[in-house]
Every structure is written in structure tokens, then in C-alpha cells.
Amino acid sequence: MTLMTEHDNSRDGRRSATEAPLDIERVRQAFPILSLQRKGKPLVYLDNAATSQKPQQVIDAVTRYYETQNSNVHRGLHYLSERSTEVFEGAREKVRQFINARSVSEIVYTRGTTESINLVANSYGRENIGEGDEVLLTHMEHHSNIVPWQILCEEKGAKLRVIPINDAGELDMTAFNELLTDRTKLVGVVHVSNALGTVNPVREIINRAHAAGAPVLLDGAQAVPHMAVDVQELDCDFYVFSGHKMFGPTGIGILYGKERLLDAMPPYQGGGDMILSVSFEKTVYNKLPYKFEAGTPNVAGAAGLGAAVDYLQTVGMDRIAAYEQELLTYGTDVLHGLEDIRFIGTAKDKAGVISFHLEDIHPHDVGQLLDEEGVAIRAGHHCAQPTMKRFGVAATSRASLAFYNTKEEFDRLADALRKAREVFA
Ligand code: C6P
């Protein structure tokens, strides 16, 4: 089994670099942190939904940036300023290709998913949502796709509506039809739920929403690391994600928006770089995407994000998705063998996440006991308290995978859970 190493930027290359399966050992060698030991055992990292680990290529790109390219962007004519601008804009083009946006004007750098959603709520939302209007969300949203809309609705006298979910953690599409009315001014949907792993039928949601005249924002934070995303094919109006969950650095993220919408939106923040001219009487704003990028940006983050995109393109998103589905099935099967385990999120279409509850053991205790065994998972509400409430729990234990995880690591997780059960017996 070999890993394709040449960089293939073609659309086909983005989707399936090669038919050969992943060489996991080779993949793992690219991630230095994966060779750490914890409590004398190889570290098992299954907290990828919180943040992913970084390949050497990303670490090197950030180091190279500070060693040989560092300067402010778009501001100077000197050598280093040209280099940093090249890196910054080069990464934007890589992201454009990665999600198949029409133009780099549609790719706005932000600090992450949270800031991207706040930008849309504060700019698009303030301009287009008023008294009596409705924002339609799903019951499985992350807090960052709830709270900004709640703040907006309170300010404007608009209403939040929520699409319910069934016991498997799937959207009730009949209820969606009923909730979607001419009052709906925006539909906000998580592409892949961080708490349940559900992959939502976003194409269908977008079709129905558009037929009702409502734009759709997709929260892609947990989708982009696991599957090929094509914003033109989806026809979503906004798509948001974070660099750190897709093997890039923290502090950088993306807002994709259709050019027509972004163009009509007022700026989110004011400051340097987002203007063409300023006088005390009038400011003329910069063109897209700079209109939304006030102040000195995270250039090193962009350098790392560009390297992460290159790396993912090389591995191939379709190969990643295929391998991860195999891993998800294996992981779910081995955990099924445990006594008194309840899975939270059993949708037919899932990606990346196995959330569960061990009867009589608090998830925080599970997390701590697993840490003693060198296994890292997350225990908590996962910033999805309404989802927890829907399933009658305050928290879950969550194993979340990436393409560098292995079946053996899921065996280690199951063994560690068995031990935890013994401790509490
Ligand atoms: N979820 C998790 O452990 P930021 O923090 O802006 O990079 O991403 C926020 C966010 C938004 N939407 C979804 C679906 C997410 O999963 C997250 C981050 C982490 O599940 C931290 S709570």
C-alpha cells in the first residue's frame, strides 16, 4: 500500500487522488505528536472533533513563514511583504480549490467557525432579518450556530425556530417542511454534528429552503476534515469551517459566501485593509474579500492552512472518507460489545464521531480513567447543550476519529472502557 505523494490539484485529484488505500503507518509518520507516550503507553488520540493534530508539512510551513517570509501583507513593496502576501493569497486560492468556490472573492479569512457565523449573523443578519422574521436552525447545532442568531433575534424582534430530531439523531424532515415558511429568512444547519456524528441531508435542505426563498448557512466544522465538500454542487449560500479541525493551525478559519450575497453585505468590523479610502466624512470599503478582513490577519495561520489543504489533497478526501467509514463501523462494533453502553447518535449516515454513555459512570470519570490508560477522548456537553437535553443526558463521552487513527486504537479504547467498568463495579 502506498500513499500518493505528488500534488494533484485537479478536481478529480481533490476527490480521489488514487484508488490505492491509505498507508496508515506512513500517514502516522507525518504527525510527530502521534508518537508520544502517555503513562508509558502509545498515546491514542480520539479527540479529533475538538482539534486535529498537525502533520509535519503544516508545522514546517508555519516555521518557514516565520523564518523566511514574515512581514505584514498587502502593505509594503519590499521583498518580505511580497512573500507574505504571496503565501497569504496563495493559501486563499488553495482553499478556493479545496471547496470548489467560484472565486477567491468568496473566501474570507476569519479566526474560525465561530467568528464566521458571527460575521454572517452581524452583517447579513442585521441587514436582512427584522421583526416577525424567523431563523430556522436544527436541534443539533453547536452553540456557535445558536447564540449569534439568538442575540440577533432578540435585538430585532425575530424568532428562532428549531427543526426537531428523532431518537437516532436524524432531522425530522417533515417538521422541517412545516417550519419552513415565507417568514424564514435564514436556515442554519450543521453539516456533520459534533455531538452525534449525524451527516445531515444538506442538499435536500438547501433545495427546499431555496424553493421557499431562504438562504442556507452550513456549519462545516466537522465535515471538511472528513469528506470532499463542493460548495457549488451543494449550492449553499454560506459555508463555514475552522483550520484547526482540518489539520491546520488554530486561529484561522474560513467563511465561504456566494459573491452576490457578500457583495451586498455591510462590513463586520472596521479598520485597516478593509477600506479603499477613509476621510472623516466618508469611508469607501475595499472589494471582496478584503471588505471583511479588517486589521493584520493571521498570515502564519494561512500559511499552515494552505499546507494542510495541500496535504489533504495529496492524501485524497475520498480515500480519507472511505477509510474513516470503515473505522467508524469497526469502532462502533467493538464498543457495542461493552456492557451497559448507550450510543447517543445512531443515524444511518454518520461521520467521525461516536458518542456514548456508560450506565452509572459519569462521562468525566470515564474521560479521566481513559486518560490513565493513555486514551484521549472528550467528555462533556460538546457545546451542544440542547442536543444533550434532547437525549436526557448532561454530557456524553465522545470518541472522535481522524484518518490517522487505527482499528487497534479502538481496541485500546474498548479495553480501557472495560477497565473503567471494573473500577466502578
Ligand atoms: N467543536 C468540539 O469538541 P471553533 O471553536 O470556532 O473552531 O469551532 C466551533 C464549532 C462550530 N461548529 C461545530 C459543529 C463544532 O464542532 C465546533 C467546535 C469542538 O466538538 C469544540 S466545542
- The reported pLDDT for the residue numbered 13 is 41
Ligand 1, residue 194: give the atom nearest the CA: 16
Average pLDDT of 76-96?
Answer: 96
Does the pLDDT at position 74 exceed 90? Answer: no
Q: Is residue 345 included in any domain, yes or no?
A: yes
Based on the domain organization, do 269 and 362 belong to the same domain? no
CA–CA separation, 313 and 17 (whole Å): 7
Ligand 1, residue 191: give the atom nearest the CA: 14
Q: Which three cell numbers stand for residue 286?
A: 475595499
Residue whose CA is closest, atom 18 of ligand 1?
50
Average pLDDT of 251-262?
Answer: 98
Question: Which are the contacts of 53, defined by CB distance < 8 A and separation ≥ 6?
Answer: 31, 33, 34, 45, 247, 402, 404
Question: Which are the contacts of 334, defined by CB distance < 8 A and separation ≥ 6?
Answer: 410, 411, 413, 414
Based on the domain organization, do 98 and 109 belong to the same domain? yes
Does the pLDDT at position 243 exceed 90? Answer: yes
Whether ligand 1 lies within 6 angstroms of the CB of 48 is answered as: no
Based on the domain organization, do 219 and 354 belong to the same domain? no
DSSP letters spanning 301-363: HHHHHHHHHHHHHHH-HHHHHHHHHHHHHHHHHHHHTSTTEEES---SSB-SEEEEEETTS-H
Q: Which three cell numbers stand for residue 188?
A: 442554519
Does the pLDDT at position 339 exceed 70? Answer: yes
Based on the domain organization, do 152 and 279 belong to the same domain? yes
Crossing angle (nearest 10°) for helices 299-315 and 79-99 = 40
Q: The domain spanning residue 376 has which CATH number?
A: 3.90.1150.10
Structural domain that includes position 283: 59-313
Whether ligand 1 lies within 6 angstroms of the CB of 147 is answered as: no
CA–CA separation, 148 and 150 (whole Å): 5
Write the pLDDT tens digit of every residue in 308-333.
999 999 999 999 999 999 999 999 99
Q: Is residue 7 included in any domain, yes or no?
A: no
Question: Which are the contacts of 392, defined by CB distance < 8 A and separation ≥ 6?
Answer: none
pLDDT band, very low/low/confident/very high, at 413 (cuts 50, 70, 90): very high
Mean of pLDDT over the chain: 95
pLDDT band, very low/low/confident/very high, at 425 (cuts 50, 70, 90): confident
194 CA distance to ligand 1 middle (Å): 7
- The reported pLDDT for the residue numbered 273 is 93
pLDDT band, very low/low/confident/very high, at 1 (cuts 50, 70, 90): very low
197 CA distance to ligand 1 middle (Å): 13
Average pLDDT of 406-420?
Answer: 97
Encoded amino acid at 190, one letter: V
Residue whose CA is closest, atom 3 of ligand 1?
50
Say which DSSP state 165 is in. B
Last residue within a domain, chosen from 298, 313, 328: 313
- The reported pLDDT for the residue numbered 298 is 98
- Percent with pLDDT over 90 in the chain: 92
Does the pLDDT at position 16 exceed 50? Answer: no
Write the pLDDT tens digit of every residue in 201-218.
999 999 999 999 999 999
161 neighbors 212 (Cβ within 8 angstroms): no
Is the pLDDT higher at 121 or at 359? 121
Last residue within a domain, chosen from 264, 283, 313: 313
In order of 5, 165, 306, the CA distances from 84 in angstroms are 26, 46, 13
Does the pLDDT at position 2 exceed 90? Answer: no
| Among 138, 222, 241, residue to substitute to test ligand 1 (most atoms within 8 Å of Cβ) | 222
Q: Reduced to 3 states, what is the DSSP secondary structure of residue 104?
A: helix
Does the pLDDT at position 4 exceed 50? Answer: no
Based on the domain organization, do 196 and 215 belong to the same domain? yes
Based on the domain organization, do 120 and 172 belong to the same domain? yes
* Alpha helices for 183-316 (secondary structure H): 202-211, 231-234, 259-264, 299-315
308 neighbors 300 (Cβ within 8 angstroms): no
Based on the domain organization, do 307 and 346 belong to the same domain? no
Residue 383 is among the residues annotated as catalytic for this protein: yes
Helix (H) or strand (E) holding 26, with range, is helix 24-29
Whether ligand 1 lies within 6 angstroms of the CB of 141 is answered as: no
Q: The domain spanning residue 113 has which CATH number?
A: 3.40.640.10
Does the pLDDT at position 6 exceed 90? Answer: no
Last residue within a domain, chosen from 313, 340, 362: 313
Question: Which are the contacts of 397, defined by CB distance < 8 A and separation ≥ 6?
Answer: 355, 356, 357, 358, 363, 366, 367, 370, 377, 378, 379
Whether ligand 1 lies within 6 angstroms of the CB of 113 is answered as: yes
Whether ligand 1 lies within 6 angstroms of the CB of 96 is answered as: no
Ligand 1, residue 141: give the atom nearest the CA: 14
Edge to edge, the sheet with strand 378-380 lists 341-343, 353-358, 396-400, 378-380
Average pLDDT of 58-86?
Answer: 95
50 CA distance to ligand 1 middle (Å): 7
213 CA distance to ligand 1 middle (Å): 28
Based on the domain organization, do 305 and 371 belong to the same domain? no
206 neighbors 300 (Cβ within 8 angstroms): no
Based on the domain organization, do 250 and 361 belong to the same domain? no
pLDDT band, very low/low/confident/very high, at 18 (cuts 50, 70, 90): low
Whether ligand 1 lies within 6 angstroms of the CB of 142 is answered as: yes
Ligand 1, residue 50: give the atom nearest the CA: 3
In order of 42, 43, 238, 246, the CA distances from 376 in angstroms are 11, 8, 33, 18
Based on the domain organization, do 237 and 368 belong to the same domain? no
- The reported pLDDT for the residue numbered 9 is 38
Whether ligand 1 lies within 6 angstroms of the CB of 49 is answered as: yes
Number of domains comprising the chain: 2
284 CA distance to ligand 1 middle (Å): 34
Based on the domain organization, do 232 and 340 belong to the same domain? no
Whether ligand 1 lies within 6 angstroms of the CB of 400 is answered as: no
142 CA distance to ligand 1 middle (Å): 7
327 CA distance to ligand 1 middle (Å): 22
Q: For the whole model, what pTM was predicted? A: 0.96
Residue whose CA is closest, atom 5 of ligand 1?
114
Whether ligand 1 lies within 6 angstroms of the CB of 379 is answered as: no
- The reported pLDDT for the residue numbered 14 is 46
- The reported pLDDT for the residue numbered 19 is 65
Residue whose CA is closest, atom 17 of ligand 1?
221
| Among 242, 353, 377, 400, residue to substitute to test ligand 1 (most atoms within 8 Å of Cβ) | 242
Whether ligand 1 lies within 6 angstroms of the CB of 144 is answered as: yes
Question: Which of the residues 162, 322, 383, 393 is marked catalytic?
Answer: 383
